[in-house]
Chains A and B, each alone.
Chain A
Amino acid sequence: MGKTVVEKVLARASGRAAVTAGDVVEPAADLCMSHENAALVINQFLEIWQGTGREARIWDPSKVAIIFDHRVPAESPKTATNQKKVRDFVKANRIAKFHDIRGDLGGICHQILPENGYVRPGAVVLGTDSHTTSHGALGAFAFGIGATEMASVWTLGTALNVEVPATIKVNVHGRLPAMVGPKDIILHLVGLLTAEGANYRVLEFHGDAIRDMSTSGRLVLCNMSVEAGATSGIVPADAETLRYLRDEAGVTDELHPVQPDPDAVYERVVDVDVSALEPQIACPHTVDNVKPISAVEGTRVHQIVIGSCTNGRLDDLEVAAGILRGQKVAEGVRMLVFPASGRIYTQALLKGYLADFVQAGAVVMNPGCGPCLGVHEGALGDGETALSTTNRNFKGRMGNPKSEVYLCSPAVAAASALTGMITDPRHRVAGGVR
């Protein structure tokens, strides 16, 4: 019987000839990622070892990555002290894949991991962040776990009691219209599947629209797979994956892409034709409350956010800068831009995109999660509305339960910044918006 990508990855990682959806396995971890919540992982890790009479020891520090991104620079003494504790632990345990708050090497974990070549096709990647699903864009099986579970993996090197997930095959066909992109595809898909439609399942992406898509776009699809409840999104590795890893991530060692068998068993097959897709908007307060832009055009917005692990990459900034160039952000609108990493910030600086943003009236912030999770920047006032390229719009997400968040693509965000209302980027005309 044919196998899906996740079945093949988990068979290899748990030392078995073959596994099938529903089997319980203990896969070896290839990469373990944490951000600021490493502070809690460390706490739980030390508790595991306490009373064993042994000295606490990470099974393989070379497989642990820690990236500060959620609250950078620290917004409070508490965060700063936690970050200091993590730094001390990193040093004492010789964790080399550590990305501190820096303008060159820092950034959001879900960009830092791919761009540094830490993620490989066929790998088992665990992260104490729900958007760890992102890394399936490189053909890995990547999933989010809690801090205590990570402490367990740091101790034993394996994830305990993992059920092999069933897989939903998603065929994406057709040529994307202008100003419609990967974000619109995944919003449409989450709306179709609903917020729990892929709970305990993997979304495996296929089709000509995926083959034509850059790794940057595939990261968007896999990133937001979790918004349909998926354990992971996976794009089987192909020529584009290898190009990205060799040319952009600088990987030189041997790679082992994993392909599904032609007769792999899928729980369900979903077909999406994108050739007539409109820009999509997720409306408050759930990510699956998705509407075509025509249904919400004209909605007044107070804050525009471009960035995050979903849409803070160079191609996202390029599209947005192209729309804003020579124009002005509308009065009464605050526009915040967060490049996803220091590397992307530098590239956008050299290409002039950051100047386009600043001259239009946007505020360019340092790489990091920014206002996405309502922790320390860009909070909303009572009754205010944000339009954001981030991935969640739950009540209170941007720091205020009395505010609303709409989710969209970078093109929609940029076009809307010029008008102060949700605006279809396809309706732009020279010198402004129709």
Chain B
Amino acid sequence: MSSVVLTLGDDVSTDVIYPGRYMATVLPTETPQFAFADLAEFNAKLKAKQIQPGSAIVAGKNFGCGSSREQAVSALKGHELVIVAKGFARIFLQNSVNLGLELVEVPDLDAREGDVLEITADAVINRATARRFERLPLPAARAEIVKAGGLIAYTRQRLLATR
């Protein structure tokens, strides 16, 4: 079960998720402090550990559009958030697969802050409204990377298979 802790609209850019002025910070161990830095209230809750791991952010279409900055993914991953959106921008989705941030793509999603979501392999059930929404699978080519536990592990496997 994932509680919805934040709802956002369409086209949430990586500038909103991880503002450019913190881009000099690159390590996944250091980026989480700047997640949604310009949403001061939410950022403060994250830093005070008032958001439970596994909580959900709910968003509209094209979540993660804009810059390829991987900090936008590592910052959310560091707080063990789940992102449930109507759609994701390509590079953000790819970075999330590579780093192991859980993305849930649900084109018809309807959920509000405080709702509790049950996330299964093929659907999201909003317990507050008892409505069920179909979940789209990840692009097929990503499954192997997910199975390996991320791109670092997958690349290492591939490397060790050579010579």
Contact = CB atoms under 8 A, between A and B. Distances in A.
Whether both chains belong to one complex is answered with yes
A399 B23 CA distance: 12
B23 A160 contact: no
Interface in A144-178: 144-149, 151-152, 155-156, 160-163
Contacts of A39: 26
B151 A130 contact: no
Given A149-B95, A160-B151, A161-B141, A52 B159 contact: yes
A195 B62 contact: yes
Interface string B39-66: 0000000000000000000000110011
Q: How large is the interface on B (under 10, 10 to 19, 20 to 34, 35 or more residues)?
A: 35 or more
Nearest to A371: B20
A154 B23 CA distance: 22
B118 interface: no
B157 to A, nearest CB: 10
A399 B150 CA distance: 32
Interface residues of A, number: 57
A132 B26 CA distance: 20
Contacts of A48: 152, 155-156, 159
B108 interface: no
Contacts of A130: 66-68, 91
B142 interface: yes
B91 A70 contact: no
- Give the secondary structure class of A's interface: loop
A315 interface: no
Please indicate which of the listed interface residues A52, A70, A373 has the most CB atoms of chain B within 10 Å of its own CB: A373
B91 A146 contact: yes
Given A24-B140, A160-B151, A199 B95 contact: no
B158 to A, nearest CB: 6
Interface in A100-157: 128-130, 132, 144-149, 151-152, 155-156
Contacts of B156: 48-49, 51-52
Contacts of A288: 11
Contacts of B121: none
Given A130-B68, A231-B90, A162 B141 contact: yes
Nearest to A53: B160
A321 B21 CA distance: 30
Contacts of B152: 44, 47-48, 148, 151-152
13 contacts: A36-B24, A82-B24, A130-B67, A145-B91, A146-B68, A146-B73, A149-B98, A156-B159, A200-B90, A229-B90, A286-B11, A392-B15, A399-B21
Interface of A: 24, 36-37, 39-40, 43-44, 47-49, 51-52, 54, 70-71, 75-76, 78-79, 82, 128-130, 132, 144-149, 151-152, 155-156, 160-163, 195-196, 199-200, 229, 231, 286, 288, 373-376, 392, 394-397, 399, 401
Interface of B: 10-11, 13, 15-16, 19-21, 23-27, 38, 61-62, 65-70, 73, 87, 89-91, 94-95, 98-99, 139-142, 144-145, 150-152, 154-156, 158-160
